[in-house]
Structure 1
């Protein structure tokens, strides 16, 4: 039989991505993807159901202008400054000062937690699935279990050691409980009663408890910094919108009541410090104003005395009607100019000097200044005595105005200090939502399913990228080795080495299977390929064990015998041969090794198979020197004698890469076929076998692709062949 040559026409484009090929890979391994998706989805379901729910309480605060809603907001705003910024108030809310007040008022440094069950056990509890009546399960908390403390005192050293074992409380019957202290001391007590350990400096009073006997709770007292950090870690605050001065406060906890209680404590502490700060600012301003009142009053008295003294010296000179009118207008204009100065400061922050509003204000100011200059010129022409009286009168009115303003501001600040109203208003009181915010079970389940699909697809693609074996005949032919036939996968044809006892001949038990059509195709290829061969002996080997060479040898022999050929199967694997199991022959039966040793003849060892023209030459007893036996001339003589008696002799050999026996056998036969297995035989192993044969001066004549799975194949090259064989191999009519 001459070796066949094949031109490789299929070129792999390594730098290109074939989306159709990727889709085919994924669809071919859909069961793997489905299995991984189900596993990850189940883990997500367990996590979602086993994680205790987390609740969130929220509150809404409004930052108002300082001074609140007093009767005189303008004056108070001038005294207390500008509006507070939201960023500063947020930092105050998160400050140690506010958090510390909240911890102290709510005793949040006392922590009483129920023993949390494992995730899987928690799932059973939440789904209401009965669990075995075991004492160990009774110690874990159920939904609704709760313990509140009315008093707790621990020694200082317990606070300084956060890793110290906490106090354990085990519920008993009729509101009784047992405490296990870190020093292993056990104390019994009852709900509502004070329990003390004077030696350890420990005291506790349990206010209420919800739970069945056997439930376990852990109790600890945190340090102030630890309690603040714990509270701050679950607290959130942000401004709703932009520059709205509306602050949204949030607190998350696994207990609905605790979340609301903690957020209320923080809100109350913040309001208290805000009111105290506003009162302190008002008190400071009031002290300053009151300190200025005596001086202002003295200025009024001094100005009044100066005016009276001057009038007495000038014999009670009174101002004329014109002078009095001028003085009144000057005073009014100066007040108007002061108001315009204040207004100009506001306008300059919003408009440029060229804006019409700004220009109108400047024009008004110029008009008042011009009118004031005219009045002052009129005053200058008055007699000297009247001018002096006007100046002294103006000084008196100015001093009186300052004094009256200070009196008014002092009264306003007294009202502000006594009102105890800050610049923060509670819009929404702290309240916990009915539904938990976490875990989002539907979202977790959806994401876990999506993640499972991604991981499944990634597994398929990575496995395909790192796969060991060939996937189609083109990969084998690319090595220069022609493929004689492709044997489709038979689901029930597992690795026969793993099966104990007799083995089935699938060509007899499943004659219409698509895989048997592959053997018939191989039979035809061998028949026409060996017409001019000198010998009709064929060695069938593989690169490694488990590729199916014995499966190919036996079933090829059956279909050849069914075609009318006299076939002899030779089990030349003198190390681990097991072809006898296909023919139900005992292990002690004589075989090839006995013939080569001269202990038996062919007539003694040949066994007739289930078909009239099918015979088997078993391996016989496993000798200690199989290679040396095969190298004897007697082996060639046996093959020659078999070639004379049979139309086709199939020699089943050991794997090439395991032992040297196949190379010895291939020298004595007419052709050698290499059995490869779909998705298991690497291309490098095929190349390694070819290299060994080339070094030995031999050549492989062809290959057989065994266990081909069209659903997992990466190429559609066999699609037409698969459909054609399926249509006709089952005896169906088109």
Structure 2
């Protein structure tokens, strides 16, 4: 046996640094899988790009001029304090229900007809004819608004309709079709579609239709303080979005122009009503002034009162302007509008100024007061009369020729190429996504895999690696199928790989192990080979059974003992009965016999005999190992067999293996590739050391082809087995 190996926990601390070279090897090893997944994602991206519905965009441009005209500019002062119309206001006006609602009604956008297109149909279809459906009339009840009706072509002129409540009706092109109640009916004027072509027909409420248009409409200023608006609309029909955008622009410019005309007309109406009244007032004022002058002999206003009179005249003129503006605004805004409130505030200020001037005049002599009053009436009425005449002329011209403050720069036009999908970008992103996801997956898998993956990791503990056994694909598939049949994830195949496939690479590796053990055991009196593992499911029973068969096939007399009295299943692999006298029965005997043949079973393999777990296994088998029956029995086996293979429970689960190992000539540990951790092996060393037992070697089982062993020992047996 090898020198005593002490626990080497300090050696098991993993290197936390990332090995870039190893990551590169991992990528290179999985290059074909990464390439396949990348190509798959690229194909998906190509299919998506080719079958996605193209989205087009129509663009237009408007200029918002700063001043409409002098008269309306004065009215604008009341509303915004500036003669320039804010672009933000115009943007909101364009997107308002007032403008969009009229556009929806003008173009019938509340009725939406869509052919149903499937991605594969678009990809495989060779027809250039686009499905077409024209509806002459479509009325639905309130409950069916905003819900799609499905129309399916049954022939050149026949179709069927499926309502939202799954009712089916058949109709003929050109004829009315009643759909349930009297409020729901349709007439199809034209249908160009192959048999089975589906359409969806939806009648939206006006509000829903407006929201659909608004969702696809974009309005924005071309820059800060730049009075130019850019309008764009997106959609799947290039002609429809162009017509819709042009209609929105037409309705907006018409509204803008009509608002000016309406304002001018209201102001003109007010002036025409005021002029006759004002003309009478002017005539009366002149007569009164002439009569007073003749009676009093006063011909003119004193120079000291002239300034006061001129101030009164200006105030009266401003008040007339405000009344004119108020009349014009009343046709556009309500009394609660900020414009009205601002106008009323100005009127109050002028009234207060007028009151102060009148108070000043009242302090003058009676003669001066009277001449000032009469002169003021004449001058004010005369000035107002002239001013109203001028404004009437201006408003008359405006009413007849107003073009508003909006100028169309570019009418709506749709670009020839769709803006979406960006096919090249989609394909590129799909390829990049496939590359990074697949590469990232394998890199992460490599980084997270903490199990042993090389002989060097075991050697670092001071242990010898006696053999590396590649994963048998045949055994793996057989176990997988067996689990599915038994519906038990722990079930394993009930046959030996060495019998079913003697040229399997894993069997070739076991042959090499057999040779190794043969030479190691030469000269040893103790022929017992104990095989265990750190944890369950590492393949110790697989190694024990197949190794025993290989030794027997080499002409040796072999005894295989199932020492796992809890979960042993070697009897299943060898086709032996379970509940027969065996290992547990021997350990429970009061007195050991000279021969143990009654506890040993013959097998179908020449030279191989088997001792099962026994017919009477206790709940705590470890207690059976405390007497000397085990040593006496193994001593007997040493003298009657060339090799004794003892399969034991996992070391870290129960203490059985560490106790049995005291009576073995060779103690082997099975470590599972990618599963057994280095720390687990270190703990096994500690367990065995407590019982003064040496671990003579480790078998690395289930080795898979990975980046770490790509050019290593995996292919050694695989290539050999392929040639056999």
TM-score, normalization by structure 1: 0.66
Find the counterpart in structure 1 of residue 226 from structure 2.
244
Q: 1:541 to 1:199 in 2, by over 3 A?
A: closer
1:431-452: CA deviation from partner (whole Å, max 9, x where unpaired): 3333333333332232233223
* Unmatched 5+ stretches in structure 2: 78-82, 300-373, 480-492, 587-594
Q: Closer, same or farther in 2 for the Cα pair 1:203/1:508, shift >3 Å?
A: closer
Match of 1:155 among 141, 147, 151: 141
Distance of aligned partners of 1:221 and 1:722 in 2 relative to their CA distance in 1, 3 Å threshold: closer
Partner in structure 1 of residue 207 of structure 2: 225
Contact 2:514 2:550 in 1 (8 A): no
Aligned residue in 2 for 1:617 = 608
Check conservation: 2:662, 2:691, Cα contact below 8 A: no
Q: Is the alpha carbon distance of 1:708 and 1:402 closer, same or farther for their aligned partners in structure 2, counting shifts above 3 Å?
A: same
Is 1:263 aligned with 2:245?
A: yes
For residues 603 and 171 of structure 1, the distance between their equivalents in structure 2, rounded to whole angstroms, comes to 78
- CA apart distance, 1:679: 1.0
Give the secondary-structure state (helix, strand or coil) at the position aligned to 2:200.
strand
Post-superposition CA distance 1:367-418 (Å, at most 9, x none): xxxxxxxxxxxxxxxxxxxxxxxxx999999998876665444333323222
Equivalent residue, structure 1, for 2:570: 577
Contact 1:470–1:679 (CA under 8 A) maintained in structure 2 = yes
CA–CA separation in structure 2 for the residues paired with 1:550 and 1:30: 35
Contact persistence 1:484–1:525 (CA under 8 A): no
Report the equivalent of 1:12.
Answer: 14
SS at match of 2:570: coil
1:673 counterpart residue number: 668
Aligned residues: 616
Please give the per-residue CA displacement for 1:4-38, whole angstroms capped at 9, x wherever unaligned.
34755574354x55544544444444455445545
The CA distance in 1 between the partners of 2:291 and 2:703, in whole Å, is 128
Distance 1:414 1:275, change over 3 A: same
Q: CA deviation at 1:622?
A: 7.2
Match of 2:529 in 1: 538
Q: Deviation digits for residues 571-617 of structure 1, max 9, x if unmatched?
A: 32374328988xxxx8699x995997944699976956xxxxxxx52
Alignment correspondent of 1:331: none
> Which residues of 2 match residues 188-203 of structure 1 at below 5 A?
188-196=170-178, 199-203=181-185
How far apart, in 2, do the equivalents of 1:593 and 1:65 lie? 108
The verdict on how the C-alpha distance between 1:51 and 1:658 changes in structure 2, with shifts beyond 3 A counting, is farther
- 1:47-196 to structure 2, matched below 5 A, reads 47-67=48-68, 77-78=73-74, 82-114=83-115, 116=116, 122-128=118-124, 144-159=130-145, 166-181=148-163, 187-196=169-178
Instruction: Quote the offset at 1:104 in angstroms.
Output: 1.7
| Pairs within 5 Å for 1:362-401 | none
Unaligned runs of 5+ in 1: 68-72, 131-140, 318-391, 609-615
Paired residue for 2:194?
212
* Alpha-carbon displacement from aligned partner over 1:643-696 (angstroms, at most 9, x marks no partner): 568876554556556787645643431231111122122456546756765787
Post-superposition offset of 1:125: 1.0
CA contact (8 A) 1:487 1:519 kept: no
Question: Which whole-Å deviations, capped at 9, do the CAs of 1:93-145 have from their partners, x for residues lacking one?
Answer: 2212222212222222223333x35xxxx232122169xxxxxxxxxx99822
What does residue 497 of structure 2 align with? 503
After TM superposition, give the deviation of residue 158 of structure 1 in Å.
Answer: 3.2
The CA distance in 2 between the partners of 1:179 and 1:277, in whole Å, is: 46
The CA distance in 1 between the partners of 2:676 and 2:44, in whole Å, is: 35
What residue is the counterpart of 1:275 in the other structure?
A: 257
* In structure 2, distance between residues paired with 1:151 and 1:724: 76
Question: Aligned partners of 2:167 and 2:684: how far apart in 1?
Answer: 76
2:425 is the counterpart of 1:443: yes
Distance of aligned partners of 1:232 and 1:244 in 2 relative to their CA distance in 1, 3 Å threshold: same
Cross-structure match for 2:700:
705
Q: Is the 8 A contact 1:41 1:448 kept in 2?
A: yes
Deviation at residue 458 of structure 1 after TM alignment: 3.9
Which SS does the other structure have where 2:130 is aligned? Answer: coil
Q: Residues 655 and 514 (structure 1 numbering): CA distance in 2 closer, same or farther, change over 3 Å?
A: closer
- Residues 4 and 701, structure 1, Cα contact 8 Å, conserved in 2: no
Q: How far apart, CA to CA, are the structure 2 residues paired with 1:501 and 1:687? A: 33
Specify the SS of the correspondent of 1:434: coil
**TM-score normalized by structure 2?**
0.66
Mean CA deviation greater in 533-542 or 228-237: 533-542
Provide the rounded CA distance (Å) in 2 between the counterparts of 1:599 and 1:648: 16
What CA distance in whole angstroms lies between the structure 1 residues aligned with 2:608 and 2:24?
A: 48
**In structure 2, C-alpha distance between the alignment counterparts of 1:399 and 1:439, rounded to whole Å:** 71
CA distance in 1, matches of 2:503, 2:271: 113
State how far apart, in whole Å, the 2-side matches of 1:517 and 1:216 are.
Answer: 64
Q: Secondary structure at the match of 2:497?
A: coil
1:33-48 mapped onto 2 (5 Å cutoff): 33-34=34-35, 36-38=37-39, 40-48=41-49
Aligned pairs for 1:306-325 (under 5 A) are: none
**1:349-379 Cα distance to aligned partner (Å, 9 max, x none):** xxxxxxxxxxxxxxxxxxxxxxxxxxxxxxx
Of stretches 165-174 and 300-309 in structure 1, the one that deviates more from structure 2 is 300-309
Partner of 2:485: none
Kept in 2: contact 1:194–1:203 (CA 8 A): yes
Structure-2 separation of matches of 1:198 and 1:671: 90
CA contact (8 A) 1:569 1:649 kept: yes
Give runs of aligned pairs for residues 513-524 of structure 1, distance below 5 A: none
Tell me the CA shift for residue 284 of structure 1: 3.8
Aligned counterparts of 2:225 and 2:415: Cα–Cα separation in 1: 27
Contact in 2 for aligned 1:537/1:650 (Cα 8 Å): yes
> Residue 677 of structure 1 contacts residue 706 of structure 1 at CA under 8 Å; is this kept in 2?
yes
8 Å contact kept, 2:5–2:689: no
Instruction: Quote the Cα distance in structure 1 between the aligned partners of 2:653 and 2:220.
Output: 72
Rounded to whole Å, the distance in 1 between the matches of 2:99 and 2:264 is 21
